[in-house]
Structure formats: C-alpha cells, structure tokens
C-alpha cells in the first residue's frame, strides 16, 4: 500500500540544502546557510530595476518575496481543492485564506544584526544564550491509497498550468537565483562576524562577566552559568493507519525559558554590542554586501522579476474568485 505524505504548508524553496527558520541556529557551527535575494537602488539605472524606496535601508526589498508567497498560495489552493474534488475532501481544511510570509520572514531577513547581537534588552532576556531548537513539526496529511498517486500528479499539473506557462519552472529558477544571491551575502559577511563578536566578548571579560572566548560557539564564548532546560519535541513515529486519509496533528510549540543568570549574561552581551559599536559596524557590512551581491546579479533579476510579477498577478486573481 502506497503512503503518500503531504504537508499543508507551501512547498519549500528549491535549494540544495535545508532552510533554517532562524539564522542564529547555525552560528555555532560556522556554516551559515542564508537564502534570499536583493535588488540594488544604486545599479537600477544600468539594470532597469526599479530603485528601492528611499525610506528603506534594505536592498533586498526589491526581491519579489511577497509575489512568491502569493503564487504558492494559489498553487496550494488549486491543488488542495482539486484533491478534494477528486475524492479527498479532507484537504479542504488545509486551504489557507492568506499567503504565508515564508520568503520575507524566513529567508530574506535571516542575516540580521538582531540575530547576532539581540534586538533589545527584552529580546535578550527572552531568548537567552541557547541555540534555537528546530521547532515544532507542522500538521501533516498521509494518504493511504494507491489511487491517490494519479490524482496527485494530475492535480499538480493542473494547478501549475492554471497559473501560466512554465509557472513552476519560473519559481524554481527564481529560487535558485535567491540562493546564489544569499550565498554571496554569506560569503562576504560571515568571516567578519567572528572578530566582531570577539570585540563584544572582550567587553564582557573586561566587565568581569564570567565568560571564556570561544570563536566556534554561538555568541563567541562559553560560560558556566546555568542554562534553561533544552526544548525537545516528541519523536514522530509516522502514520498509524493503514487505509484512508490520516491527519497527523502539529506539535504544540514549546517556548525556551532561560534562567535568570543566563538572561543576565545575554543582556550584558547586548549592551556590550552597543558600547563597542559592533552593531553599527555589522549592520553597515550587511548593507554594503547586499548591494555588492545584487550588482553582480542585477541582469538576472531584471530578466526574472517581470515574469514573477506577472505570475503573482494571475495568482491573486485566481485566489480572489
């Protein structure tokens, strides 16, 4: 008996590596994966791209993240409705009314000063110093039915065709472009982060905070302060039924709670990032790196953006019906 597993969430970006929910989870391993794309106001005259709004400090805003989300909403809506119309009504419950915000929130905004040095005293107090867990598992659907494979393939083809010619390939290509752009950003910024963090760690040491410099750790140091209890989600055992449509519920999210001592060190780390000027330095480095990366790929963005915008317009029309 075939077991076809489907998640109600929008499909993951077409990349060669997994997508982290937040960048700081990967800092300790010195192997960051950052996915995203950008467009550059300074090169707009040469590339034909529309300039970034003057009120924006982020060149990435021209990357059409919201358009991708709209396209995927339409594709999911059409696909799940097609499943429902062909004998699997359970999928109607997974049709979303609003697009996800995965590209802007989960991909393009990962490499930030706030992730590396905290956003505020309140953020440091709440997050503490532990690496983020992988997060709860989303609700999933398992179909135990040999006939579903043909339905799935037909509905997938139909839903992409409704969006326009070569819609699926256009998204795949745009995702690959985002990976190239973000990889260039990571190459330019990641090596600089370690030395900047060590400036903050020196500030902590000078202030008598009980930390030991360690460039391979998440925030550039180790400490003997007590941490909160690690967040662990129950191991998934897979489907339990042998027929029909099985819905596996989502995990209930478990928040991480730092100890008071851990939170205090995190707050001092945030304060030292301000006192040393490291935050401003890293912020400027990220901005300049984004501009450089986009300048390298401006022609590709100029070619791809109109088609993505066209597909998004079609997608919004389809989901508005």
Q: What is the DSSP string of 222-263?
A: EE-SPPPPPP-PPPP-----SSEEEEEPPPPP------HHHH
Residue 133 has pLDDT above 80, yes or no: no
Q: Is 31 helix (H, G, I), strand (E, B) or coil?
A: coil
Which tens digits make up the pLDDT trace of 210-225? 999 999 898 999 999 9
Predicted confidence at residue 43, as pLDDT, reads 35
> What is the number of H-type helices and E-type strands within the chain?
8, 5
Residue 8 has pLDDT above 80, yes or no: no
Q: Looking at 77-91, 106-120, 307-321, which range is the least confident one?
A: 106-120
Beta carbons within 10 angstroms of residue 169's beta carbon: 11
Nearest CA to 36 out of 289, 310, 281, 283 is that of: 289
Residue 52 has pLDDT above 90, yes or no: no
Q: Please, which residues have CB within 8 angstroms of residue 43's CB and are 6 or more apart in sequence? A: 49, 294, 295, 298
Predicted confidence at residue 104, as pLDDT, reads 65
pLDDT band at 37 (very low <50, low <70, confident <90, very high): very low
Residue 105 has pLDDT above 90, yes or no: no
Chain-centroid distance, C-alpha 118: 18
Specify the higher pLDDT residue, 208 or 27: 208
**Residue 142, phi then psi, degrees to nearest 5:** -115, 130
Give the Cα separation of 8 and 90 in Å (integer). 11
Residue 44 has pLDDT above 60, yes or no: no
Q: Please, which residues have CB within 8 angstroms of residue 227's CB and are 6 or more apart in sequence? A: 128, 129, 130, 258, 259, 262
- Taking the model in full, what pTM does it have? 0.76
pLDDT band at 56 (very low <50, low <70, confident <90, very high): low
Which tens digits make up the pLDDT trace of 169-189? 999 999 888 888 888 888 888
**Residue 313, phi then psi, degrees to nearest 5:** -65, -45
Residue 61 has pLDDT above 60, yes or no: yes
pLDDT band at 107 (very low <50, low <70, confident <90, very high): low
Work out the mean pLDDT of the chain and round it to a whole number: 81
Beta carbons within 10 angstroms of residue 230's beta carbon: 10
Predicted confidence at residue 199, as pLDDT, reads 97
Q: Are 191 and 318 in contact (CB under 8 A)?
A: no
309-to-41, 70, 306 alpha-carbon distances in Å: 19, 10, 5
In the block, which residue shows the tokens 């990435």? 60
Among 20-24, 203-207, 251-255, top mean pLDDT goes to: 203-207
278-to-16, 21, 111, 226, 267 alpha-carbon distances in Å: 32, 24, 15, 27, 15
DSSP states along 133-171: P--PPPPEEEEE-TTHHHHHHHHHHHHHHHH-TTHHHHH
Q: At 211, which helix (H) or strand (E)?
A: strand 211-213
């Amino acid at each position: 008996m075939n077991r076809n597993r489907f998640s109600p969430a929008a499909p993951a970006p077409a990349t060669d590596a997994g997508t982290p929910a937040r960048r700081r989870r990967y800092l300790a391993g010195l192997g960051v994966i950052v996915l995203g794309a950008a467009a550059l106001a300074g090169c707009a005259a040469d590339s034909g791209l529309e300039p970034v709004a003057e009120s924006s400090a982020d060149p990435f805003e021209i990357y059409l993240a919201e358009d991708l989300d709209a396209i995927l909403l339409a594709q999911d809506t059409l696909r799940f409705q097609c499943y429902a119309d062909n004998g699997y009504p359970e999928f109607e419950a997974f049709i979303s009314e609003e697009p996800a915000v995965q590209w802007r929130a989960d991909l393009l905004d990962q490499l930030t000063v706030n992730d590396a040095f905290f956003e505020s005293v309140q953020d440091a107090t709440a997050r503490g110093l532990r690496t983020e867990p992988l997060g709860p598992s989303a609700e999933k659907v398992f179909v135990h039915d040999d006939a579903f494979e043909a339905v799935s393939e037909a509905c997938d083809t139909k839903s992409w065709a409704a969006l326009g010619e070569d819609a699926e390939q256009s998204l795949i290509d745009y995702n690959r472009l985002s990976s190239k752009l973000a990889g260039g950003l990571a190459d330019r910024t990641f090596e600089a982060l370690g030395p900047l963090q060590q400036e903050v760690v020196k500030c902590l040491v000078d202030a008598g905070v009980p930390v030991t410099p360690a460039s391979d750790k998440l925030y550039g140091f180790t400490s003997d302060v007590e941490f909160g209890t690690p967040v662990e989600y129950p191991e998934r055992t897979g489907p339990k039924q042998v027929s029909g449509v099985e819905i596996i519920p989502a995990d209930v999210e478990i928040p991480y709670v730092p100890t008071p001592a851990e939170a205090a060190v995190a707050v001092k780390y945030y304060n030292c990032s301000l006192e040393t000027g490291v935050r401003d330095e890293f912020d400027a480095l990220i901005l300049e790196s984004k501009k450089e990366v986009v300048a390298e790929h401006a022609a590709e963005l100029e070619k791809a953006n109109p088609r993505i915008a066209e597909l998004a317009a079609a997608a919004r029309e389809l989901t508005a019906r």
